[in-house]
A and B are shown apart, each in its own frame.
Chain A
Amino acid sequence: KAGVTQTPRYLIKTRGQQVTLSCSPISGHRSVSWYQQTPGQGLQFLFEYFSETQRNKGNFPGRFSGRQFSNSRSEMNVSTLELGDSALYLCASSLGRSGNTGELFFGEGSRLTVL
């Protein structure tokens, strides 16, 4: 059974650019959650998508957005990049809503560096 796949694994952008990250969940999983991980702040919740609908959102500015497709694949986008957006972005899938199961399966992450 394939795990959660995130692409790209590494990317370097400059301030002001935008970036799109992709996540393919485990087959059959309908929920995709996105987290930002930095050394100082740990895992910060960005948003969760379930059945193509955003079900929950963390305390991030509107520059951070996402969507989910009918095949459960998800993308997140960050516009007008800032230096502070440099982080590891983790996608996690779960069978049901993450708040119900708590069992998240994480991808390897996309490491974003903003110069």
Chain B
Amino acid sequence: GQQLNQSPQSMFIQEGEDVSMNCTSSSIFNTWLWYKQDPGEGPVLLIALYKAGELTSNGRLTAQFGITRKDSFLNISASIPSDVGIYFCAGQLPEGSQGNLIFGKGTKLSVKP
């Protein structure tokens, strides 16, 4: 089945630093989504990308949909303690396929004040 390779698995950074994480796949996706999950909570949508090459920002977060449609990255600038959590990328397959999302394994972010 389709798989997403998300890296890094975990990051431990100092408050104020920038963060970058990415996802790659052997499959083409129509949509890339980035979610954040806090312990015991459901994933919360951060950014949705719908077109190849699209670059979208949400506050200190910026994400891009790769030109090949097989990859995406998420950047967080000037990290703060509340950025702590697990970040998941998710890809949605092209029209005609199932509507479900394929998730990466997550990047666990820890921020030291």
Decide if A and B are genuine partners.
no
